[in-house]
A = this chain, B = another copy of it.
Amino acid sequence: MQIAIVLYPGFTALDFIGPYEVLRNLPGADVRFVWHEPGPVAADSGVLLVGATHSFDETPAPDVVLVPGGMSTFEHARDQRVLDWVRRAHESSTWTTSVCSGSVILAAAGLLNGRRATSHWMALPMLRPFGVHPVGDQRIVREGRIVTAAGVSAGIDLGLWLAGQIAGDAKAKAVQLVIEYDPQPPYDSGHMSKASATTKASASALLTRDTVKLGQLTAPVTLLWQTALRKVRAS
C-alpha cells in the first residue's frame, strides 16, 4: 500500500507527522514523501528540513494521498503541476486526504466541488470560492473517498480513522497504543468554540506572523541538501 505524503516549502510538520506515525505502522505500508523533485524541503518554521524521497512523476498512482497544510498552501494551490498530480493521483487512489489547510489544495484541484470539507479554522473561508461547503465543527469530514481533517493535530485522529478503514479496528487500536495516544491537554482551548476572545486574537496574531517568513522558504526546493542545510544554519 503506497502512501504518498505531499511536501512543499512552508508545510506545517505536525499536519503529516501525525498520520505518518500512525500509517507507517500498518502492515505493508510503503510511505513516501513527494514533491517536484527529491531533496530537503523546509517547514514553515524555516528551521526544520524534511526529505522528499520521490518526485510526483515517480509517484503516478499511490493508494493513499495525504496533503498537509501550512501558511504557504495558498501559493501552492496555484501550482498547476501540483494540482494536475493531485487530480491524476485521485483517479486511482483508495483514499485522498488532507490535514489542515491542505484541503485548499484538494479544493483548487476541483476535487471538492459541491462537497463538504473541513480545514484549519483560519483556512475555512478559503474553501468557499472553490464551491466547497466548509464544515467547522467536525474533526474529520468524509465525502466518499475523500477525507479532510481539521487543523494540524487533527491529522492524528485522521490517521487512526484511516488505519481502521484500511486495516481494521484491531490494528488501529494497536497503533493507538504504540503511539500512546491518550491525550491529556493541559488546557481546553483547542477549538474556536472553546477558546476565549483573547486566545483567538492571540492565535490569529501568531499565524499572521508566520506569513511574514514565507519568502525565506522558496529557495530550498530547487537546491541540494547541502545548500538547504547551509541556509537553515545561517538563518
Contacts and interface: CB of A to CB of B under 8 A. Distances in A.
How many copies of this chain are found per oligomer?
A: 2
Interface of A: 12-14, 17-18, 20-21, 24-25, 31-33, 38-40, 45, 47-51, 53-54, 100, 120-121, 139, 150-154, 156-157, 160-161, 164, 169-187, 189-192, 194-196, 198-200, 202-203, 205-207, 224-226, 228-229, 232-233
Given A51-B228, A164-B187, A153 B177 contact: no
Contacts of A180: 100, 120-121, 150-154, 190-191
B177 A233 contact: no
Nearest to A121: B180
B181 A199 contact: no
Nearest to A151: B180
Contact of A152 (B54, B179, B191): B179
Contacts of A40: 40, 49, 51, 225
